[in-house]
Structure 1
Amino acid sequence: MLNFCTLFDSKFLPYGLNLHTSLMKNCGSFHLYIFAFDDKCQELLSKVNLPHTTVIALSDFEDEELLAIKPTRTRGEYCWTCTPSTILYCIKKFGLDNCTYIDSDIYFYDDPGHLIREMGDKEILLTLHRYTPRYDETHISGKFCVQFMTFKNKPESLAALNWWRNACIDWCYNRVEDGKFGDQKYLDDWETRFNNVHVLQNPAGGVAPWNVQQYGVETKGEEAFVTLEEKKHRLNFYHFHGLRFLSDNKLSLCEYSLPARAVELLYVPYIELYLQNYAKLKQLDNNLDVWLPAANNLETFKKNTLNFLKGKYNIYRINKFVKAWPK
């Protein structure tokens, strides 16, 4: 049994449903713990009733330490602050042998168990950013990406989680300060700070907008493959970081330049599934506020979006925070 946890609010519901769909397709035996970061998210997830899933309300999860610092953080910063606490909560509350944190905007194309088994007897699994050189922001965002991290219910792993939780409660902001950035830069020295840490070696895990330029991408049916340094790998997961709808015919894929094949073979099917899940959610709550404009005609919106991806509209990218980052 593989145990996963993720967190998101109602704005990210379609991403979360996409994530769950990908686990249902590719992961044989799993349980997903979703931390619903607002009441609307919890309400709709209870109505959708996803299989192999437990929905956890903030009121059940938040403790005194988290509530004390909550007013000092933005919505996004508070989510980052809570990441290690969600993993600890699942391991302790449900007595799990292992728990893998996954970002809500990743999508699995193969069994994530292949990645987790790579860690063997180690207690902690970390995922590299694997930046394309021109996008290397290790000095800002860190060497490792929080997107996919596994922790076992063992002493060194729990010590690392408690250390990380305390560090995030002390400082977790969307800015660079004294070598820190959000929840992520804390991971940079874990290979020496803690024992039993394994860094994922499989390059098919953690393909993302900041590194996909290094890969060739192809598909065969529902299977996806990436080629790196002339070696083909079955794509395990892709991180759709930064994908946002801006208006009825404009969207931001990310702040990076993407290969056309990645857009065609990964983004188009993902967005089609996103729109299907959006339509399901709108049937449950017509006033749902998600990362999608209130299109009067969903089919027209879908057509406009797909035409946009085929080059009939200008691509708008959001250079989020870039100007504020030191070089």
Structure 2
Amino acid sequence: MDKKVEQQLAELNLSQVKLIPLEVAENDRLLSVKKDRSKGEYCWTMTPFTPEIVFKLAPEAKRVTYLDADLFFYDNPACFFEEFEKSHKGVLITEHGFAPEYAHWEEASGRFCVQFLTFNNTPEAFKVMHWWQDACIDWCYARIEKDRFGDQKYLNQWPGLFGEHVHILGQVHRTLAPWNVSFYMANQPQAPVFYHFHSLRLAGKRIVRLYEGYQISKPGMLLYQAYISTLQEKLKLLNMQQMDIPSFPEKISLFMLLRRCRDLLKKTVKYSVLKY
């Protein structure tokens, strides 16, 4: 989705990565709405088209799994695919699994999270995929409406429309994120398959915002420590290759400063210093 990222990945020449340039992935339908969408909204609009793009380039593939870029794996996801295969369905989706204190967010964000989503190479799966493509071409914006929010809230309709084709992952306690990590690690303690580092961002040179708007318990912070250690290794690699490391400094107004102080006191935001 970003030319600079594509160029940097090409220079790194990672053995298990095959890059697909944006211009290869785009089609007339996508280009017809591109000017009407922000960059983020266009990324979301692209999501339901991505599995089909991969299938076209690799028709021998049995399935394609879409991953959000801010996932980090702590265990092999084979257990997810084993559960999926036993369901004999064509599409796998995951729930947000909000902790009770964040349950009210489901109304805005939806029951399901696009974070980890698998399509089999079958007509049944393509039926769901094409429905999603049509919906996102019609409307995919970064605002909340009754039944819509970006590409994500459309998934709420899938169990009703495509229940015979869609499997909802049962292992929600192994798909952790800031909105559920403290709850599940206290009540169903088991190593996660992945953690969704939602709201983590490089906020300045060597400064990383770990999370914002949540309270993360000590067991949850261990996951952040492991991620930060790996992140620092990768940033060192970029430095060795003399590649730019992007950061997204936040514009701090007096209001934002006061809000940040409040969040720090409430422990719902945390910053760390990166060493690389």
Q: Which structure has the highest helix share of the two?
A: 2
Whether 1:48 aligns to 2:12 is: yes
Output the CA distance in 1 between the equivalents of 2:35 and 2:109.
Answer: 24
- In the aligned structure 1, how far is the partner of 2:119 from the partner of 2:39? 25
Distance 1:75-1:315 versus aligned 2 partners, 3 A rule: farther
Aligned counterparts, 1:97-116, within 5 A: 97-116=62-81
Counterparts of 1:284-323 in structure 2, within 5 Å, are 284-286=241-243, 288-291=244-247, 317=269
Unaligned runs of 5+ in 2: 250-263, 271-276
Q: How much identity, in percent, do the aligned residues show? A: 38
Q: 1:124–1:197: 8 Å Cα contact kept in structure 2?
A: yes
Structure 2 partner of 1:228: 187
- Code of the aligned partner of 1:290: P
Counterpart of 1:126? 93
Q: Aligned partner of 1:141: which letter? A: S
Cα distance change of structure 1 residues 248 and 42 upon mapping to structure 2, 3 Å threshold = closer
Unaligned regions of 5+ residues in structure 1, if any? 1-36, 217-226, 294-311, 319-327
After alignment, is 47-56 or 76-85 more displaced? 47-56
SS of the residue corresponding to residue 290 of structure 1 reads: coil
Q: TM-score, normalised by structure 2?
A: 0.84
Letter in 1 for 2:13: N
1:83 partner amino acid:
T
What corresponds to 1:243 in structure 2? 200
Work out the CA distance in 1 between the residues paired with 2:178 and 2:42.
Answer: 24
Checking the alignment, whether the CA contact within 8 Å between 1:205 and 1:235 is kept in structure 2 is yes
- Residue 168 of structure 2 corresponds to 199
Mark the CA change 1:313 to 1:179 in structure 2 (over 3 Å): closer, same or farther.
Answer: closer
Count of equivalent residues: 250
1:189-233 Cα distance to aligned partner (Å, 9 max, x none): 2112012211101134321001112122xxxxxxxxxx634xx43
TM-score (norm 1): 0.71
- Calculate the aligned-residue CA RMSD, in Å: 2.3
Return the structure number with greater strand share.
Answer: 1
> Structure 1 residue 148 and structure 2 residue 116: aligned?
yes
1:63 Cα deviation after fit = 0.8
Alignment of 1:44-83 (within 5 A): 44-83=8-47
Q: Output the CA distance in 2 between the equivalents of 1:174 and 1:102.
A: 19
User: 2:174, 2:191 within 8 Å by CA — same for their partners in 1?
Assistant: no
**Corresponding position of 1:215:** 184
**Aligned mates of 1:262, 1:238 — CA distance in 2:** 10
CA contact (8 A) 1:115 1:205 kept: no
Per-residue deviation, 1:313:
11
Q: In the aligned structure 2, how far is the partner of 1:275 from the partner of 1:316?
A: 23
Q: Residue 282 of structure 1 aligns with which residue? A: 239
